Structure 1
Amino acid sequence: MVMVPRTISPAVAAVDSFIPRHVGPSRSEQQQMLAALGYDSLDAFIDAVVPEQIRFRGTLNTGPERSEAEVLAALRQIAARNQVYRSFIGMGYHGTHTPNVILRNIMENPAWYTAYTPYQAEIAQGRLEALLNYQTMVIDLTGLEIANASLLDEGTAAAEAMALAFAAKGSATKNVLLVAADCHPQTIAVVAARAAARGVTVTVGDAREFAVDERVFGVLLQYPGTDGAIVDYRALTEQVHAVGGMAIVASDLLALCLLTPPGEWGADIVVGNSQRFGVPMGYGGPHAAFFATRDEYKRLLPGRIIGLSRDVEGAPALRMALQTREQHIRREKATSNVCTAQVLLSVMAGMYAVYHGPAGLTQIAERVHARAGALAAGLERLGFAITHEQYFDTIRVEVGAHGQQDILAAAEAYRLNLRVLEPGTMTVSVDETTTEQDIADLWQVFNSGAAVDFNYADVAADVDTRYDERFRRVSPFLTHPTFHRYHSETEMLRYMYALQARDFSLVHGMIPLGSCTMKLNATAEMIPVTWPEFGQLHPFAPRTQAEGYAQLFRELEHDLAEVTGFAGVSLQPNAGSQGEYAGLLVIRAYHAARGEAHRTVCLIPQSAHGTNPASAVMAGFGVVVVKTDADGNIDVDDLRAKAEQHAANLGALMVTYPSTHGVFEARIKEITAIIHEHGGQVYMDGANMNAMVGVSRPGDLGADVCHLNLHKTFCIPHGGGGPGMGPIGVAAQLVPFLPTHPVIASHDVSTAIGPVSAAPWGSASILPISYVYIKMMGGEGLAYATKVAILNANYIAKQLEGHYPVLYRGQNGLVAHECILDTRGLKGAAGIEAEDLAKRLMDYGFHAPTLSFPVAGTLMVEPTESESKAELDRFIEAMIGMREEIAAIERGEADREDNVLKNAPHTATHCTADAWTHPYTRQQAAYPTAWTRDRKFWPTVRRVESAFGDRNLVCACPPIEEYAPAPVSA
């Protein structure tokens, strides 16, 4: 296929050009905006915004612009290079049937995947209820008291469990974690890497031979084990508790439909992967990891908890519980740096449980177990020994070294993937998708390809799959009516759409969040995610079966390296927080390789994202805070003084660029030079990369490593708070230390750090989104998008500066891709705070900007390049309208307490109630602009009382009466 270069310079783009579909303002609208700012052209404007000393003047070498049809056709050819074998590998990843009603109406539905993290609870009630369902499912199946709303993957969830256990029970002398050797190998590796950075000693061995003494703060067990064994760990957990330690169990939710929950036999924390609840394997992700623990540890729980509270009228209302105490708020005192979750995938997993209910899940689990039992019985007929008597879905087969190669050859011929545990020993894992024919094929494979003289029905009839009283589950689960009501597709569809109607997303309007870049997630970018060639690959399938993925990785790594100006890229980190952590581990490994392992001081500006100091501590650094000046920039004199003070031990500087305040700091090269002069490396937080692509490159500024939020700058959707990807780019000297993986090595380098994610390439199945975006935009188009993003932000700042002070500006009085509106002066004059504006914006049909970060009492606005001038003007109209409402309070024309801002948001129920006691009209409350009368989005609850929910924490589905009485179907 010949790709014809396009140009984006003509006023009228080609009809099949993607660029004007992605960029909101037309050329003529851009000229109007530029005129308002006093500039004749977009390039002249960018020259005024971006300091010349940091400017990238070339064209990104990512290829020419290509149409949607061209890119998708080319990607089809790449996908065809992947071979989808039937995988019986297991190891925490399994085939599953995504119910079509969930696939079409959640996974492929922009109303679900374009929403933001539910910080504004009043317009996120649907998603919050879906997450509460997920938490309830996890609590019920694990037998514990509290669960969060998901983590990133099983390996990192286990590492988070280790951190919680150490924070709760550990000390300088109590710092040993015992890890059972039959945990999944990727889990052991992720935990070991995290432990090494934190000074924790990990001892891996046979759990039956553990020496539990006073040095042990925790034990990590797998139930069932990676080789399928189900073991009674009651006595071991009692020993751990006796020395003041905690029992962590990695488990399988489907198995727990049949097995005694770990919480009932002594587990303090249970983690795992909810992938097999309807989420495709996707070559490793994204999948929602679950994390449950006892109530006493809720203050140490990583991630987010959804809890039940009430609104100002006393009506039940959901919100993120304990959100002001989230880990990253604690900064360097945090025990976790996680600031996101896998919301879209946890919603899918929760809906899978809602759709099937406890009876359906039990039936699926029994069928899986019966298939495994039949497989084992047939293999025994063929003369093979089955190692473990008790198993769920995975059997361990002793084949002998001599027969192993014949079996593998036959498996290749049948296009089956098996797992070699060790020479002469194999495991076979079955799942929901395994058929009777699959079992018959497996028998024939183990018979070296020869036919067997028995059939499935004969074997299955003689198999007893019942568990004895040590392991058989007797406690009920999923008893809440939600898990019994929606088993017909009609009811399920209506339930999901009822929840969807309570959520604000990009399908409704702009989400102008600073540092969060809520831009278009184009349909063409999303389509490949559900192609089976990408979605159905097991992450540990042989690399020869994933040549399409390998090509995609190579091209994407090249393009991201070009965008950042770095020599190498790792795609493994599956969140921005993981990218921070990985980048810092790479720096530590670099110093250690040079005999300078003592370089563990990390300088971090006061204005940094809260995840920065948390990540530094997780990576084994000590944090030293650097001052910021009155303009929000790094205080260079203070930086230099502290770099000199800590020169002997300086390891790194963490810096966000453009700054957290939305400004291009002109002295950034001086800042990076100071760090290098004193022996450190520079880590650049890429959260604000949407202001840099094509106009400035981190590698050219002196940065040594930078993480990229693909879920921001490169169009992977936020998914309501996840999925995300946080790959890192590094300078040449750091390339040898990029992370690899113990199961499928991404590269064979002895200096590589251990894995930071459970899968070799993180959440691989969503990488096509960013790939398609980059290819459709081309190098010039990427830079053009950045320029328009900066233009949109400055247009808003200009139009609002007469109404709200713009807190920080760069050269020529301009901002980067976001601006901070200072609302602090309104409190004294009118009693109005930033939160009041955030809630009132819902009445105007908007999600709030970032609230009180990085400066308390302010609003940070980032419009992105995808919003049209009409949408920007609508937002400006709303902000000015609210300022006039405030002015009415200042003039005494509106009551200081009973006004449209203090009472916001206004629900339909409130506005249509028989009684109306407010001094303003219902129309003023609900329809402040003409646009809202045409396309009103109604919040479903009034302002939520977070403090009440924190005092009365409920994080599982409450009795249905708390919502509304309704009949319960059978």
Structure 2
Amino acid sequence: MSKIQLSTTNEFIGRHIGPRDADTQAMLELVGYASVDALTDSVIPDSIKGTSVLGGSAGQGEAEALADLRAIAARNRPFRNHIGQGYYPCHTPAPILRNLLENPAWYTAYTPYQPEISQGRLEALLNFQTLVSDLTGMQIANASLLDEATAAAEAMTFCKRLSKNKAAQSFFVSVHCHPQTLDVLRTRAEPLGIEVVVGDESALEDFSAYFGVLLQYPASTGALIDYRALVERAHAANALVAVAADLLALTLLTPPGEFGADVVLGSAQRFGVPLGFGGPHAAFFATRDAFKRDMPGRLVGISIDRFGNRALRLAMQTREQHIRREKATSNICTAQVLLANIASMYAVYHGPQGLQQIARRVHRLTAILAEGLKQLGHQVEQEAFFDTLSLVTARPAAEFHAAAQAAGINLRAIDAARVGISIDETCEQAAIEALWAVFAAAGQALPDFAALADSVGDRLPEAQLRRSAILRHEVFNRYHSETELMRYLRKLADKDLALDRSMIPLGSCTMKLNAASEMIPVTWPEFGSLHPFAPADQAEGYRLLTEELEAMLCAATGYDAVSLQPNAGSQGEYAGLLAIRAYHASRGEGHRDVCLIPSSAHGTNPATAQMAGMRVVVTACDARGNVDLDDLKAKAEEHRDNLAAIMITYPSTHGVFEEAVREICAIVHDNGGQVYIDGANMNAMVGLCAPGKFGGDVSHLNLHKTFCIPHGGGGPGVGPIGVKAHLAPFMPGHGEQLERKEGAVSAAPFGSASILPITWMYIRMMGGAGLKRASQMAILGANYIARRLEEHYPVLYTGENGLVAHECILDLRPLKETSGINVDDVAKRLVDFGFHAPTMSFPVAGTLMVEPTESESKEELDRFCDAMICIREEIRAVERGELHADDNPLKNAPHTAAELVGEWSHPYSREQAVFPLASLIDGKYWPPVGRVDNVYGDRNLACSCPSIADYQDA
């Protein structure tokens, strides 16, 4: 009888890593190494070998890890939340949950930088922009920001740039704004020399000292304030006005754009996105058309393709503000696309009447609650309100909080004598009666709900009611049945290329498997239904999750402490530099403000440095892409009295392990600076070397790259920072939720907490041995591609042994001279082969940066290499004159199905256009549009859904 293994085996590592053993050996043979250990031994510099502290622990199987995480989740206690403060329980409609949030066609897509293969998610984002513009009454809106507080911070700096009151250095913030917004504003303002003045706007008579004003509408504690006269007085003093608004309230109330606001911002969370202990949630930012070129974040615009048909794209390069480096208006390069798409589809599904019905019901329940509380002897502070009340209680507020929590209810703590209550779309009669029971004295009869429902009217002031129509576009008035919505979501997804269709070989972006077992816990109610400001004893599961995850990330990086608060890589960079800044100040060296940044660095680095109040000094790179040590040493010594930091990426932005990284760190340390190591390329290091052990003082990590949180079409992201012990006291935090350290960088204490289980699951299942193997296989995959393609496209940079790290840069610049074919032509031709293009023209113009990741099989790597070789043969045909210089498959790419069945006038065949490889016949991807005209789109900018008349004309 054969022996059967009865113990459970961990199959996950083999499921996550693409190549099988035989494939791995074949790849190693081509690269010229006997084993992956031998390969990585040649790639990793001797100076940093052995720095990893991860260890070789075995991972858990999927079922075992899920069971352990389920036990952690059970430690959370989801109460009914009436805290409000910008976060509200809501219903995620089931067809949106199943067909969008849980659908890899949506969550594994990348940022829509290649518009021809992104038309579906671009349309969903255009719907979001239209929704926001319509409800806010503004002319233009972006495709989302990170959260309401960071959107407010962006609004502050936006007002500073654009206000005509140039002498003013102060920003007035209403005392009625959410407290977490004030925290983030103060953090952002201090390095920029901006004074944040918090006060009661009703007492403010002179605006001349302020470049801008931030108001909350409705107020954080519930009041509805008519801001018309105040906005006029602010404008008369040349101050700009930003309004943080509630989208659901705006379905019934006069939009800020109609009473003069210059910026309207807020959170779209209550449009179908779970609370999730604070995120991820899509913020919105809307402004006047005149200010569009200064607006932070991404903007979806309408253009045409090469056939003159309507096509969508990211417009005006707002998606790449960080390319402006230290002159950038923002460092944000991540939106919250997946969450914005959920919010947009929530509006599509409910439509204008449905949204207004939800808002009216929420308001009427609040009015009934208020009247009943008055009957019980409590003072309701607001005469006019939408969904939130503040009470002056008959007894100390603490008594009512205790009674509420005993009943499984959370109220908002305002102060010792006042309690806040917010109502939401999930509330029913029973929820109102449960609240009355909390506030009733012993033996006191509860109000009669039915009687009050018949007698209580609205508490919305007549002067502040909305008169303008909302959401008139067809898209918000058609898909109200589940069948229609399901088909609409499928139609959009079918237009796009995501990781569920093919490899996405984007260098620096690490588009790897987001395993189903990692994603499953995201929608567990134990994680999704907690309010970020719920009492700590209700979030014991999150405490365990975050503590364990922080320890895992410390082990992976060699750092001593981790903060999970930053909710994007850009925010992680910012938090890291703030920690450095605060550390220097604590030592009496607050004058240190020079940040050295290599010329090859990702553009967010210098943008972040200027946001942190630092002066950027650029250091040179040598011909091989390495930091020029002589130039670095000279500049470090020149600025030694004021040197704050260096920001480097490792492995380098050029995709190689620089041999001199320890020397770089030592030069900066010797001159009084700190070393920030950008963690964008951690996928080459985990288990092999550790930045916290070879000289780094702080790194941010992209959990949406190395650690498997999906990109979601361009967001969500998580960008925690790891720090050495001396920087630990200066990590970001919120005053009451966490021990206050450095200021908050995001609205919620743990940033995008609800997606942290993804990374916990990944690390737990991979274990130390699996994580090391993943890094090794990522390096093998990149070197395999480089070796297969090197005779067709030169590999621009390699390390000492002729090897690359986890990505390689293919130099296409010589082809422009010999054939007229440029990097755009190759990128668009790849669409005909069913691939997303690699990263274009970064860090070197005219190149493609390819990163295969460890998740892709040898078959998929070969399919990509075959496509690139076939494209090179077409270029050779152009060079030989066998294909027309201007009318060839590359210049006309991508080719659509509509073009194929139309009149064919090209000198090459239909078959060469759409089936250049026989393998494409089975499972061909058809791009919905031809090549998009970027110039036309910027010259004829339209950033919301076309009118119904436009559709009829088309």
Shift of 1:961: 5.1
Contact 1:154 1:758 in 2 (8 A): yes
State the match for 1:10 in structure 2.
Answer: none
State the match for 1:953 in structure 2.
Answer: 941
Contact 2:165 2:238 in 1 (8 A): no
* Aligned equivalents of 2:320, 2:301: Cα separation in 1: 14
SS, match of residue 652 in structure 1: strand
State the match for 2:839 in structure 1.
Answer: 850
The question of 1:695 aligning with 2:688 is answered yes
Contact 2:215 2:244 in 1 (8 A): yes
* Aligned equivalents of 2:53, 2:21: Cα separation in 1: 21
Shift of 1:168: 1.0
Match of 2:859 among 863, 870, 876: 870
The question of 1:925 aligning with 2:913 is answered yes
Contact 1:819 1:860 in 2 (8 A): yes
SS, match of residue 218 in structure 1: strand
Contact 1:62 1:774 in 2 (8 A): no
The question of 1:891 aligning with 2:876 is answered no
Gap change, CA 1:420 and 1:448, over 3 Å in 2: farther
After TM superposition, list the pairs within 5 Å mapping 1:467-478 onto structure 2. 467-478=460-471
Match of 2:46 among 19, 36, 52: 52
State the match for 1:716 in structure 2.
Answer: 709
Most deviating of 507-516 and 171-180: 171-180
Shift of 1:59: 5.8
Gap change, CA 1:548 and 1:381, over 3 Å in 2: same
Contact 1:652 1:682 in 2 (8 A): yes
State the match for 1:385 in structure 2.
Answer: 379
State the match for 1:813 in structure 2.
Answer: 802
Match of 1:283 among 271, 277, 288: 277
* Aligned equivalents of 1:20, 1:870: Cα separation in 2: 16
State the match for 2:4 in structure 1.
Answer: none
The question of 1:825 aligning with 2:818 is answered no
The question of 1:767 aligning with 2:756 is answered yes
* Aligned equivalents of 2:328, 2:26: Cα separation in 1: 47
Residue identity in the other structure for 1:779:
G
Gap change, CA 1:62 and 1:714, over 3 Å in 2: farther
State the match for 1:64 in structure 2.
Answer: 58
Match of 2:158 among 137, 146, 164: 164
* Aligned equivalents of 1:173, 1:792: Cα separation in 2: 56
After TM superposition, list the pairs within 5 Å mapping 1:635-714 onto structure 2. 635-714=628-707
State the match for 1:562 in structure 2.
Answer: 555
- Cα RMSD after superposing both structures: 1.5
Question: Which deviations, in whole Å up to 9, do the C-alpha atoms of 1:383-403 show, x marking residues without a partner?
Answer: 111111111000111104x34
The question of 1:414 aligning with 2:407 is answered yes
* Aligned equivalents of 1:319, 1:961: Cα separation in 2: 22
State the match for 1:753 in structure 2.
Answer: 742
Gaps of 5+ in 2: 1-6
Residue identity in the other structure for 2:908:
Y
* Aligned equivalents of 1:560, 1:51: Cα separation in 2: 23
Gap change, CA 1:810 and 1:253, over 3 Å in 2: same
State the match for 1:7 in structure 2.
Answer: none
State the match for 2:540 in structure 1.
Answer: 547
Question: Which deviations, in whole Å up to 9, do the C-alpha atoms of 1:62-113 show, x marking residues without a partner?
Answer: 8531100000000000000000000100000000000000000000000000
Question: Which deviations, in whole Å up to 9, do the C-alpha atoms of 1:5-24 show, x marking residues without a partner?
Answer: xxxxxxxx976410010000
State the match for 1:5 in structure 2.
Answer: none
State the match for 1:263 in structure 2.
Answer: 257
The question of 1:23 aligning with 2:12 is answered no
Shift of 1:452: 2.6
Contact 2:650 2:682 in 1 (8 A): yes
The question of 1:496 aligning with 2:489 is answered yes
Contact 2:384 2:461 in 1 (8 A): no
State the match for 1:309 in structure 2.
Answer: 303
* Aligned equivalents of 1:378, 1:863: Cα separation in 2: 62
* Aligned equivalents of 2:577, 2:237: Cα separation in 1: 34
* Aligned equivalents of 1:727, 1:411: Cα separation in 2: 34
Most deviating of 819-828 and 455-464: 455-464
Shift of 1:960: 3.6
Gap change, CA 1:452 and 1:324, over 3 Å in 2: closer
Question: Which deviations, in whole Å up to 9, do the C-alpha atoms of 1:568-612 show, x marking residues without a partner?
Answer: 000000000000000000000000000010001101110000100
State the match for 1:246 in structure 2.
Answer: 240
* Aligned equivalents of 2:165, 2:916: Cα separation in 1: 57
TM-score (norm 1): 0.97
Gap change, CA 1:450 and 1:161, over 3 Å in 2: farther
Contact 1:185 1:743 in 2 (8 A): no
SS, match of residue 699 in structure 1: coil
* Aligned equivalents of 1:608, 1:448: Cα separation in 2: 64
Gap change, CA 1:774 and 1:365, over 3 Å in 2: same
Shift of 1:272: 0.3
After TM superposition, list the pairs within 5 Å mapping 1:138-149 onto structure 2. 138-149=132-143
* Aligned equivalents of 1:569, 1:403: Cα separation in 2: 38
Residue identity in the other structure for 1:33:
M
* Aligned equivalents of 1:534, 1:19: Cα separation in 2: 26
Match of 1:606 among 599, 611, 614: 599
Question: Which deviations, in whole Å up to 9, do the C-alpha atoms of 1:714-746 show, x marking residues without a partner?
Answer: 00000000000000000111001111103422x
State the match for 1:6 in structure 2.
Answer: none
Contact 1:328 1:339 in 2 (8 A): yes
Q: State percent identity of aligned pairs.
A: 60
Question: Which deviations, in whole Å up to 9, do the C-alpha atoms of 1:354-401 show, x marking residues without a partner?
Answer: 00000000000000000100000000011111111111000111104x
The question of 1:941 aligning with 2:935 is answered no
Gap change, CA 1:210 and 1:630, over 3 Å in 2: same
State the match for 2:771 in structure 1.
Answer: 782
Contact 1:581 1:615 in 2 (8 A): yes
SS, match of residue 825 in structure 1: helix
SS, match of residue 90 in structure 1: coil
TM-score (norm 2): 0.98
Gap change, CA 1:58 and 1:354, over 3 Å in 2: closer
Contact 2:297 2:319 in 1 (8 A): no
Gaps of 5+ in 1: 1-12
Shift of 1:243: 1.5
Contact 2:293 2:318 in 1 (8 A): no
* Aligned equivalents of 1:760, 1:883: Cα separation in 2: 51
State the match for 1:9 in structure 2.
Answer: none
State the match for 1:155 in structure 2.
Answer: 149
After TM superposition, list the pairs within 5 Å mapping 1:397-436 onto structure 2. 397-400=391-394, 402-436=395-429
The question of 1:173 aligning with 2:161 is answered no
State the match for 1:189 in structure 2.
Answer: 183
Question: Which deviations, in whole Å up to 9, do the C-alpha atoms of 1:901-937 show, x marking residues without a partner?
Answer: 0000001111111x10001111100011122110111
SS, match of residue 787 in structure 1: helix
State the match for 2:848 in structure 1.
Answer: 859
Residue identity in the other structure for 1:819:
C
After TM superposition, list the pairs within 5 Å mapping 1:905-916 onto structure 2. 905-913=894-902, 915-916=903-904
Gap change, CA 1:374 and 1:347, over 3 Å in 2: same
Contact 2:601 2:653 in 1 (8 A): yes
Residue identity in the other structure for 1:841:
L
Question: Which deviations, in whole Å up to 9, do the C-alpha atoms of 1:159-181 show, x marking residues without a partner?
Answer: 00011111112777311100001
